[in-house]
Structure 1
Amino acid sequence: MKGNKFNKILEQHQQRIYSLALYILRDKHEAEDITQDVFTRLWHNIEQVDIEKVSAWLSAVTRNACIDKLRKRKEFSQVEEEHQVTKKHEEPAGNLQHQQLSSWLSEAISCLKEPYSSLIMLCDVQQNSQSIVAQSLNLTTSQVKVYLHRARRELRNHLKEYTHE
């Protein structure tokens, strides 16, 4: 029974959790590790997790694990962190315009303070419902609406800087 429930959740949410971790960490291998850790935690806590709130639980655990990873990463040299950012941009030439827009958007989102960057990621990029995001970030739905409005306004301002350089 535990295995069936777990496998169903894994199948439904694995890609979304990996995408969230990859977006936050910007490192494929670390995102894979975090995804595995999150689902390991789910396995150990599956009986305590409300099936109707599992999406919010997974998002919150992923976000917190990524923040922990980023804090540990900051303990290393600034050179290592810069290497990760440049590594992200070493993609083969393709749709240059799309890559530039994606780069601007990623940089603009990373300039936002918390919880704004998480709200943009969870609501707009991953398109989670505001109620699920509220549960994930321990906010009320009203707070999510207000903060999301502010986050989008700040994001627009940051993006204007990139397009008017």
Structure 2
Amino acid sequence: MNVLENRLARLALKGDQQAFAELVDLYQDKLFHMAYRMLNNRQEAEDVVQDTFLRVYKNLERFDETLKFSTWIYRIATNLCIDRLRKRKPTYSLDAESQEYDGLDGYSMIPSDNRTPESELILSDTQRIIHQAMESLPPKYKSVMMLRYIQDLSLQEVGDILDMPVTTIKTRVHRGREFLRKKLEHRL
């Protein structure tokens, strides 16, 4: 995949609109899901995806072909999400139902053949609590935790995307988990 993406990036740099369209097709949904999980807002996630592709298009000549294209594009999108999170004023809501999830909460249901209405209610309540705890993470931990656990990237990939050493990523994952543990130990 890396070879294909790099080839498409080279073609797009030479003005091949179809190659750029293929890059958009490859990454549009992946970037949206990552941004939505980080921002918990459909409109902001769509804006981040659009801004990401604008930046990619404007800066294709800066793409270092020794890197994976996916690392470069995820880095751009993640940084845009972090910027938006930093600009937000913290909001604390005791009324979880006032938040809008657009039918998605970003966390998959645990598969089970024997679901009951009671187990569904407990599961959705648990997911809501975990989602709120993830939302409350400081941006520097939230981005690492989302990339590591929601996007299921390796520590090295997260480090490449955020342009940080793996040791820093490990520390932030540890601190992020501790933050979540403390938030959740009284709730679950």
Taking structure 1 as the reference length, what is the TM-score of the superposition?
Answer: 0.77
Matches within 5 A, 1:1-165: 1-2=11-12, 3-51=17-65, 52-74=67-89, 86-88=98-100, 95-163=120-188
Whether the 8 Å contact between 2:39 and 2:45 is mirrored in structure 1 is: yes
Q: Give aligned-pair identity as a percent.
A: 28
Matched position secondary structure for 2:62: coil
Residues in 1 aligned to 2:132 and 2:181: alpha-carbon distance in whole angstroms: 12
Query: Structure 1: where are the runs of 5+ without partners?
Result: none
Higher helix share: 1
Aligned partners of 1:27 and 1:84 also within 8 Å: no
Distance in structure 1 (CA, Å) of the matches to 2:47 and 2:163: 25
Larger radius of gyration: 2
Residue type of the partner of 2:37? Y
For the 8 Å contact 2:42–2:102, the answer to whether it is kept is no
Aligned counterparts of 1:147 and 1:67: Cα–Cα separation in 2: 15
Alignment check: 8 A CA contact 1:21 1:31 kept: yes
Q: Which runs of at least 4 in structure 1 moved beyond 4 Å after TM superposition?
A: 81-85
Taking only aligned residues, the RMSD between alpha carbons, in angstroms, comes to: 3.2
The normalised TM-score by structure 2 is 0.68
1:116–1:151 contact (8 Å) kept in structure 2: yes
Tell me the number of residue pairs that the alignment of Structure 1 and Structure 2 aligns: 159
Question: 8 Å contact 1:34–1:62 — kept in the other structure?
Answer: yes
Q: Which runs of 5+ in 2 are unaligned?
A: 1-10, 104-116
